[in-house]
Amino acid sequence: MSYSKRIEQVKNHLNYPKGLLAGQVAIITGSGQGIGAETARLFANEGAKVVVNDLDGKKAEDVAQQINESGGEAIGVKCDMMSDADINNLVKKAAEFGNGKIHIIVNNAGFTWDAVIHKTTDKMWDTMIAVHCTAPFKLIRGCAPYFRVRDGEPRVIINISSTSGIHGNAGQANYALAKAGVTGLTKAVAKEWGPQFGVRANTVAFGYILTRLTAAKELGGAVQLADGSKIAIGIPKGQGAKKNEEGNKPIPDIPLGRPGTATEAASSILAVASPLFSYVNGQTIMVTGGRNM
């Protein structure tokens, strides 16, 4: 039986024939590509109205357009999650699109700015905290009026972390700290908005997922900040990414022997957002193929 047929059967069995997220409005940050874009597509397939957003407005528009053309509902919003004005505009647009309701936030936007400790500048340090901790906090705070409600409908917040935030990583002190930070934010939200409003908050921490972030640095992937500075992202040749792409050799410290795909990563976010996880709250779910057990 095909995968999609099996999923269809499960949904009908669970009594969600219109999709696991039918009628819910979801903001997914950094969803112009990679894990965020896949999450947007999977959420839309499950009946969610999706607010696609990205630093790169054109990419956000393209993902939203694809979703709309394939029968889903989405809008694309250009938004730098490090800009207060952009966050306010994102919340406003999402609430308009959702007729006054927002049900799901996936704080996914992010990038790395790697250096060994003695070469990490204040700007590299501050930027990682700004994008991975301050931005999710400000989006959650901005959405408070839509989450601190009792209308019987589900509300879920998912913050994206990394194994670097759980175990640390040489050359990523700034990213490791910031990705550790969001796990505390998640738990605070779960404790503050759970009891009265039933809001669930969880962290999903990824290992090695094949996206632009982990592609060879030599391919030229970059993030441009508002001040014009350009940050190269990716993994330099000769490190982890290359082995798999060029040789398909098993990666010894990943029990499944391979990196995950963006679709596999996004599927785990969908699972956490879905009613199947209705009693999972305040947790950090590791999506790593078994790495770092």
Binding site for ligand NAD (CB under 6 A): 29-30, 32-36, 54-56, 59, 79-82, 108-111, 131, 160, 162, 206, 208-209, 211-214, 223
Closer residue to ligand NAD (CB): 59 or 200: 59
What residue is closest to ligand NAD based on CB? 34
Choice between 72 and 260, CB closer to ligand NAD = 260
CB of 34 to ligand NAD, least distance (A): 2
Tell me how far, at minimum, the Cβ of 33 lies from ligand NAD, in Å: 4
DSSP string covering the chain, please?
--HHHHHHHHHHHHT-TT-TTTT-EEEETTTTSHHHHHHHHHHHHTT-EEEEEESSHHHHHHHHHHHHHTT-EEEEEE--TT-HHHHHHHHHHHHHHTTT---EEEE-------B-GGG--HHHHHHHHIIIIIHHHHHHHHTHHHHS--SS---EEEEEEEHHHHH--TTBHHHHHHHHHHHHHHHHHHHHHHHHH--EEEEEEESSB-SGGGSBGGG--EEE-TTS-EEE-SB-TTSHHHIIIII----TTSTTSSPBPHHHHHHHHHHHHSGGGTT--S-EEEESTTTT-
Q: How far is the CB of 10 from ligand NAD (least distance, A)?
A: 26
Bridge partners of residue 285, in order along the sequence:
204
Please identify which of the residues 3, 175, 208, 279 carries the catalytic annotation: 175
Q: Which of residues 127 and 274 has its CB atom nearest to ligand NAD in the complex? A: 127
For the bound state, the minimum distance from the C-beta of residue 170 to ligand NAD, rounded and expressed in Å, comes to: 16
Closest CA to 206 of 28, 27, 35: 35
Minimum CB separation of residue 38 from ligand NAD in Å reads 8
Query: Is the Cβ of residue 147 or residue 175 nearer to ligand NAD in the bound state?
Result: 175
| Nearest to ligand NAD of 21, 27 (CB atom) | 27
Answer yes or no: 146 catalytic: no
- Which residues participate in catalysis according to the annotation? 175
